[in-house]
Chain A
């Protein structure tokens, strides 16, 4: 089954404790992204990757890191989480086909930083 998986699905942590949210896709997509979703602000892109070892900042990259060592995995790293990073996070993968760019979203990770 084609899918994007994220772990963990829920996480409560404390300020300053490093954490990693994993993302994996099995569709051989080149393009992967991380978004955060906050009430009234929609989906804001944090980082994206156009292929292995190619990553770039999105709209809200401060406080986050990513890596793309393998095509299928795109972990999101919070080196020193702060309460303003409490949010719902989505990983997505996609590829361009015939001018279309359908993003397949993971199930989401709800992060609370206290």
Chain B
């Protein structure tokens, strides 16, 4: 099955700087890659996603890039703010078969004011 790995496990950034989290996946059939944000004590929520026919997608201060050849995708957060402090999960899924989402273990991002 699909195996998703995230690096680094913890990332501290100064407010206003950029943060980048990278994920790798193992199954070349995966074609959908979402990112979820989980604030302390809250449920995970989708913040951005990308399909394999697109190389990059942006939504205000966040962007996701996908490199299918290398089987990795990254979340980029620019101009970080304290409210960006959270755990971020990447995931991968295929539209075929059982449609399961395989999640990474999560990255703790801490934005230092």
Nearest opposing residue in chain A for B93, CB measure: A101
Total A-B pairs, Cβ < 8 A: 58
Judged by a CB distance under 8 angstroms, whether A75 is at the interface is no
Contact among B1, B44, B49, B51 with A90 in the assembled complex (CB-CB below 8 Å): B44
Judged by a CB distance under 8 angstroms, whether A45 is at the interface is yes
Is B32 in contact with A100, judged by CB distance below 8 angstroms? yes
Is A101 in contact with B89, judged by CB distance below 8 angstroms? no
Is A105 in contact with B43, judged by CB distance below 8 angstroms? yes
Q: Which residues in chain B, 54-107, are within 8 Å of chain A measured between CB atoms?
A: 89, 93, 95, 98-106
Judged by a CB distance under 8 angstroms, whether A31 is at the interface is yes
Q: Collect the chain B residues with CB atoms within 8 Å of residue A31's CB.
A: 99
Is B98 in contact with A50, judged by CB distance below 8 angstroms? yes
Judged by a CB distance under 8 angstroms, whether B18 is at the interface is no
Judged by a CB distance under 8 angstroms, whether B45 is at the interface is yes
How many B residues, CB 8 Å from partner?
23
Q: Give 10 closest A-B pairs by Cβ, nearest first.
A: A42-B105, A105-B43, A43-B103, A42-B106, A102-B46, A99-B51, A105-B44, A42-B103, A101-B93, A107-B43
User: Can you report 13 A-B residue pairs in the complex whose CB atoms are below 8 A from each other?
Assistant: A31-B99, A42-B89, A43-B89, A43-B106, A44-B103, A56-B98, A90-B44, A96-B95, A99-B51, A100-B32, A101-B34, A102-B49, A103-B44
Inter-chain pairs besides A58-B100, A102-B49, 16 sampled, C-beta below 8 Å: A35-B103, A42-B105, A43-B89, A43-B103, A45-B101, A45-B102, A45-B103, A48-B100, A99-B51, A99-B95, A100-B51, A101-B95, A101-B99, A101-B101, A103-B46, A107-B43
